[in-house]
């Protein structure tokens, strides 16, 4: 399995200034990898949330590693706004590329298909469109008086996520989380952390093949059980509610975030 490496080696593929695609919190967030990025101080990142993010993006922003955020939302869900993201927006410390869920997916699908853009209709006339000069209103070439929006392809440098398994041939099993496949197809490279290593070949198993992502799209895999903590990994563990509550309480101020992060990275705090 040539793509299997240590977490440090895998994260070493992510360099300052890269465009990094990250998944939503229900889809396998590589939090152990995120902590490694922060330890390395890999900065000036362009985050593409597919299509939204929470703790992962907020931590990277709070650590000062993000230059641009392209997302439909950055939020802590039922816990409210993402505190370091909100402060960064207010201070102008990050550039915001506002988007919608369909727009993010369509732009990634354009890259996935090798196209320069894909059309999308639903955001015509919205304030989101007014704030995205890179989105163009064009005429439908097959109709008359039928405007449509052309979204330029998003091609991330790296897709970063966590999933259930890798097999002995470097394939990943992502199950029904097809967002992860789109991210890997659209990106120049993919770095994944996994819960388990499967002794076999997913594509030789009729029950697993449909949920597998071929090794051709994968550049580095690190075996990191519980690699999504404190976020959930369906089928393995729930989210750590206490840790997330502690983060939201601490991260409301820069000093509180800095103290929380120091404990979090050293492993001396519960969150």
- What 8-state DSSP symbol labels residue 238? -
- CB neighbours of residue 12 within 10 Å: 15
The token pair that represents 12 in the structure block: 């070493």
The three-state secondary structure class of 72 is coil
Residue with tokens 């388990």: 196
d(CA 219, CA 186): 14
pTM score, whole prediction: 0.96
Phi/psi at 120 (5° precision): -145, 140
Angle at Cα 213 formed by Cα 209 and Cα 214, nearest 5°? 95
The Cα angle at residue 73 between residues 71 and 77, in degrees rounded to 5: 145
Q: Cα(37)–Cα(27) distance, rounded to whole angstroms? A: 20
Note down pLDDT in tens along the chain; length 271 residues.
Answer: 557 999 999 999 999 999 999 999 999 999 999 999 999 999 999 999 999 999 999 999 999 999 999 999 999 999 999 999 999 999 999 999 999 999 999 999 999 999 999 999 989 989 999 899 999 999 998 988 899 999 999 999 999 999 999 999 999 999 999 999 999 999 999 999 999 999 999 999 999 999 999 999 999 999 999 999 999 999 999 999 999 999 999 999 999 999 999 999 987 544 4
Report the distance separating Cα 133 and Cα 104, nearest Å. 15
Other CB atoms closer than 10 Å to residue 25's CB: what's the count?
22
Pairwise CA distance, residues 247 & 83, whole Å:
9
| Burial of 230: CB neighbours in 10 Å, binned 0-12, 13-18, 19+ | buried
What's the rounded Cα separation, in Å, for the pair 270 and 240?
Answer: 10
Domains of the chain: 7-102+156-173+184-266 (3.40.1080.10), 117-152 (no CATH)
Q: Where do we find the tokens 């090794």?
A: 215
Q: What is the DSSP string of 206-231?
A: TTTGGGEE-GGG-SEEEE-TTTTTTS
Phi and psi at residue 158, to the nearest 5°: -140, 135
Segment holding 236, helix H or strand E: none
């Amino acid at each position: 399995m040539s793509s299997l490496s240590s977490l440090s080696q895998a994260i070493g593929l992510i360099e300052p200034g890269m465009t990094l695609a990250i998944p939503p919190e229900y889809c396998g967030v590589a939090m152990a990898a995120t902590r490694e990025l922060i330890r390395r101080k890999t900065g000036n990142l362009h985050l593409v949330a597919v299509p939204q993010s929470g703790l992962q993006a907020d931590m990277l922003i709070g650590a000062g590693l993000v230059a641009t955020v392209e997302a439909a939302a950055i939020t802590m869900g039922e816990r409210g706004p993402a505190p370091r993201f909100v402060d960064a927006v207010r201070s102008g410390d990050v550039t915001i590329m506002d988007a919608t869920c369909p727009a993010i997916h369509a732009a990634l699908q354009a890259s996935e298909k090798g196209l320069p853009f894909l059309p999308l209709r639903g955001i015509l006339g919205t304030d989101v469109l007014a704030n995205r000069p890179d989105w163009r209103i064009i005429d439908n070439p097959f109709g008359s008086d039928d405007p449509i929006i052309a979204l330029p392809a998003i091609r991330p440098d790296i897709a970063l996520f966590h999933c259930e398994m890798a097999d002995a041939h470097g394939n990943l099993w992502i199950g029904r989380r097809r967002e992860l496949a789109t991210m890997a197809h659209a990106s120049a490279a993919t770095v994944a952390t996994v819960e388990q290593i499967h002794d076999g070949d997913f594509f030789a198993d009729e029950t697993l093949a449909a949920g597998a992502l071929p090794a051709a799209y994968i550049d580095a895999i690190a075996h990191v059980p519980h690699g999504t903590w404190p976020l959930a990994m369906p089928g393995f563990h729930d989210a750590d509610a206490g840790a997330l509550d502690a983060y939201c309480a601490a991260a409301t101020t820069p000093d509180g975030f800095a103290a929380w992060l120091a404990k979090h990275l050293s492993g001396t705090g519960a969150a």
